Amino acid sequence: MAWAAKEESAVHHRVQRDYTVAEKTSLRDLLMRYEREVASKLKSSAVMHYHLARFVDDLGHLRLSGLTPEALTAWRDERLRTVSPATVRRELQTLGSVMTWARKDLLIAMPENPVSAIRLPPAGKARDRRLEEGEEARLMKALGDHSEPTKGAKRAGNYRVGTRNPLVKPVIQFAIESAMRLSEIVSLRWEDVDLEAQTAFLPDTKNGDSRTVPLSKRAVAVLNGLPRSEDEPRVFPVSANAVKLAWRRATARAGITDLRIHDQRHEATSRIAKKIPNLVELASVTGHKDLRMLQRYYHPRAEDLAKKLG
């Protein structure tokens, strides 16, 4: 009995000491430590930085013990006044990961993860924006470097318009053909491309796994049209940010609205799904790990399925 009482007392003091840590630690300090030790090493570090900075500004003054469900609910409702529910949901999910890390890795005792105790805003509908009739031709023209007459008396004559970086257009063409992410395209190396086999090996993808992407003949044609240098191992030696900036300017010149560069992965997947209707095979091309995400590309007719049943 004495031993049990001693152990119970020790556990009580350990828990009490841990709660004291939560009372002394500010959310600001925890968020900054998480960014240094965890977020900075993730592929999504840029996005995570903005999420963490938001909480540093809004709630960083609170102690961990003061980050209650009530405080988070008030923050959520106020934040929803300025941004979409999907954005608030992603921000709260990031904070939830931070609190889980604090509890399980740093062993900071808290009654609960406050994020799990509140209702998250709905995720929202997945984007289904695709290229409409005529948009691809206009986009490709805007991505090219050419001269056109300009309006206005002060600048009469032909001037260069379009995207001056010659790599941006083939990047977008390759994206539409391969369904690869922009980060995967700009990091692709020639040593991982087999033009004869029509494949591109990705050693490190967003989900942490490697995969070999089968390439269409049009995708291979894009690669064959690229310059190659012994001093440059990358297929597309251009930064993702440079492509994004060029994309915004090109879509504006083409008069195309509400079309994001990541929408081209959806465009490519939709086109490939018509050629490869099998979800498992389609996933091996696109790299989706959750087949449920691919179901919106799969629209079999009942009469076609009946024929397969015999």
> In Å, what is the CA distance from 209 to each residue of 30, 167, 176, 282, 284?
30, 27, 22, 16, 12
Q: Assign 110 to helix, strand or coil.
A: coil
CATH number of the domain residue 198 falls in: 1.10.443.10
Q: What is the pLDDT of residues 67-115, one digit of tens each?
A: 999 999 999 999 999 999 999 999 999 999 999 999 999 999 888 899 9
Residue 244 above 90 pLDDT? yes
Flag the least confident range among 18-27, 52-61, 74-83, 175-184. 18-27
| pLDDT tens by residue, 59-69 | 999 999 999 99
Query: Which distant-in-sequence residues (6+ apart) come within 8 Å of 28 by Cβ?
Result: 56, 60, 61
Domain match, 181 and 286 both: yes
The pLDDT of residue 60 is: 96
Which residues have a catalytic role annotated? 181, 206, 262, 265, 288, 297
Can you give the pLDDT at residue 37? Answer: 96
Q: Give CA–CA dist 284/299, Å, rounded.
A: 18
Structural domain contains residue 64: yes
Q: Assess whether 64 and 144 both reside in one domain.
A: no
Q: What is the pLDDT of residue 15?
A: 44
Distance of CA 85 to the CA centre of its chain: 17
Percent of all residues in the chain with a pLDDT value above 70, rounded to a whole number: 86
Residues 173 and 287 in one domain: yes
Domain count, the chain: 2
For the segment 255-308, what is each residue's pLDDT rounded down to a tens digit? 999 999 999 998 898 888 888 888 888 888 888 877 777 777 766 667 766 877
Query: Is there a single domain that holds both residue 149 and residue 104?
Result: no
Q: Are residue 14 and residue 86 in the same domain, yes or no?
A: yes
Residue at 79 is within a domain? yes
pLDDT greater than 80 at residue 161: no
* 123 found inside a domain: no
Do both 178 and 297 map to the same domain? yes
pLDDT more than 90, % of the chain: 59
Instruction: Judge whether 283 lies within some domain.
Output: yes
Is it the case that residue 149 has pLDDT exceeding 80? Answer: no
Please give the pLDDT value at position 144: 85
Looking at residue 4, its pLDDT comes to 55
* Cα angle value 43/45/50 (rounded, 5°): 145
- Residues 206, 184: Cα–Cα separation, whole Å: 8
Let me know if residue 102 belongs to a domain. Answer: yes
Residue 101 falls in which region: left (phi positive, over 0), alpha (psi -120 to 50) or beta: alpha
Please state, in angstroms and rounded to a whole number, the distance separating the CA atoms of residues 179 and 188. 14
User: Residues 112-122: what's their mean pLDDT?
Assistant: 93
Answer left, alpha or beta for residue 75, where phi above 0 means left and psi between -120 and 50 means alpha: alpha
Domain around 158: 135-309
Instruction: Tell me, yes or no, whether 129 lies in a domain.
Output: no
CATH number for the domain that contains residue 11: 1.10.150
- Compute the distance between CA of residue 102 and CA of residue 110 in angstroms, rounded to an integer: 9
* Residues 10 and 146 placed together within one structural domain of the fold: no
Query: Which of the residue ranges 7-16, 147-156, 236-245 would you say has the lowest mean pLDDT?
Result: 7-16
Same domain, 50 and 182: no
Residue 8, pLDDT > 70, answer no
Same domain for 216 and 144: yes
Lowest pLDDT segment from 40-44, 93-97, 230-234, 235-239 = 40-44
Residue 170 has pLDDT above 90, yes or no: yes
Which has the closest alpha carbon to 240: 194, 173, 181, 291? 181
What's the mean pLDDT in 236-243? 94
Q: Are residues 154 and 108 in the same domain?
A: no
